[in-house]
């Protein structure tokens, strides 16, 4: 069953110049184009920073039936996951007035109440401890990370902690904005060695 996904329809209707050409390396040059950043930020406030696909949502559902999303924004990814039958608890420190699906006010501390679900982080804020705080508080088996690898979101200590405690078991290509190189990655907790 195809998911109702107006963000994907919107993204696909944009001129090709708005999408990343795979032969062009990602670039931080977008920081020099304030109108572009304002355009993307407006879209992210309404939808999300990353464009989900049916395949991305299906991969999440293949690895978990419950997700806790920290930093859910408008709840767009949560809305799609719920369409696919995935149980979602979505949190954001400042949910916007319009949300696609229920988003509760909260941060990494909300993970105390959700010990079974996978943690979902979609483009966690750059140079912020938010992603690391969520990862540290997460007691579950899986982490779903959507964003660029070691750039553009989160911070270096988050990535170091993620790879030391979890192994990547699945990756899905998603539509990419110009100058960005994001994807969905599923991680499984490494076996704990009791000493």
Tell me, what CATH number does 162's domain have? 3.40.50.150
Tell me what pLDDT residue 1 has.
Answer: 67
Is residue 129, in this structure, part of any structural domain at all?
Answer: yes
Report the pLDDT averaged over residues 95-102. Answer: 96
How large is the greatest C-alpha to C-alpha distance in the chain, in angstroms? Answer: 56
- Express each pLDDT in 64-96 by its tens digit: 999 999 999 999 999 999 999 999 999 999 999
- Express each pLDDT in 32-48 by its tens digit: 889 999 999 999 999 99
Is residue 14, in this structure, part of any structural domain at all?
Answer: no
pLDDT band at residue 160, thresholds of 50, 70 and 90?
very high
Q: Given a cut of 70, is residue 195 above it in pLDDT?
A: no
- Express each pLDDT in 47-68 by its tens digit: 999 999 999 999 999 999 999 9
Is residue 114, in this structure, part of any structural domain at all?
Answer: yes
Is residue 178, in this structure, part of any structural domain at all?
Answer: yes
Is residue 18, in this structure, part of any structural domain at all?
Answer: no
- Domain range spanning residue 112? 26-189
Domain count, the chain: 1
Long-range contact set of residues 9-18: C-beta below 8 Å, sequence gap at least 24: 10/43, 10/47, 11/51, 11/175, 12/175, 17/178, 18/177, 18/178
The residues facing 55 across adjacent strands are: none
Query: In the Cβ-directed half-sphere of 81, how many Cα atoms lie within 13 Å?
Result: 28
pTM of the model: 0.95
- Express each pLDDT in 114-154 by its tens digit: 998 999 999 999 999 999 999 999 999 999 999 999 988 99
Tell me what pLDDT residue 193 has.
Answer: 63
Contact 8, 51 (CB under 8 A): yes
Is residue 58, in this structure, part of any structural domain at all?
Answer: yes
CB atoms within 10 A of CB 161: 14
Is residue 83, in this structure, part of any structural domain at all?
Answer: yes
**Angle between helices 54-63 and 76-83 in degrees, nearest 10:** 70
pLDDT band at residue 194, thresholds of 50, 70 and 90?
low
Tell me what pLDDT residue 26 has.
Answer: 80
Is residue 194, in this structure, part of any structural domain at all?
Answer: no
């Amino acid at each position: 069953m195809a998911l109702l996904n107006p963000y994907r329809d919107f993204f696909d209707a944009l001129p090709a110049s708005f999408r990343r050409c795979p032969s062009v390396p990602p670039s931080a040059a977008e920081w020099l184009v304030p109108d572009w950043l304002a355009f993307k930020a407006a879209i992210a406030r309404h939808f999300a920073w990353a464009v989900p696909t049916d395949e991305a949502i299906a991969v999440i559902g293949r690895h978990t039936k419950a997700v806790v999303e920290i930093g859910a924004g408008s709840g767009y990814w949560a809305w799609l996951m719920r369409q696919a039958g995935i149980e979602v608890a979505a949190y954001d420190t400042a949910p916007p007035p319009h949300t696609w699906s229920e988003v509760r006010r909260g941060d990494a501390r909300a993970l105390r109440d959700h010990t079974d679900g996978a943690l979902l982080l979609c483009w966690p804020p750059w140079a912020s401890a938010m992603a690391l705080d969520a990862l540290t508080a997460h007691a579950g088996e899986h982490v779903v990370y959507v964003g660029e690898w070691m750039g553009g979101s989160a911070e270096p200590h988050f990535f170091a902690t993620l790879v030391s405690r979890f192994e990547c078991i699945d990756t899905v290509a998603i539509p990419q904005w110009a100058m960005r190189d994001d994807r969905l990655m599923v991680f499984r907790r490494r076996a704990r060695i009791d000493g």
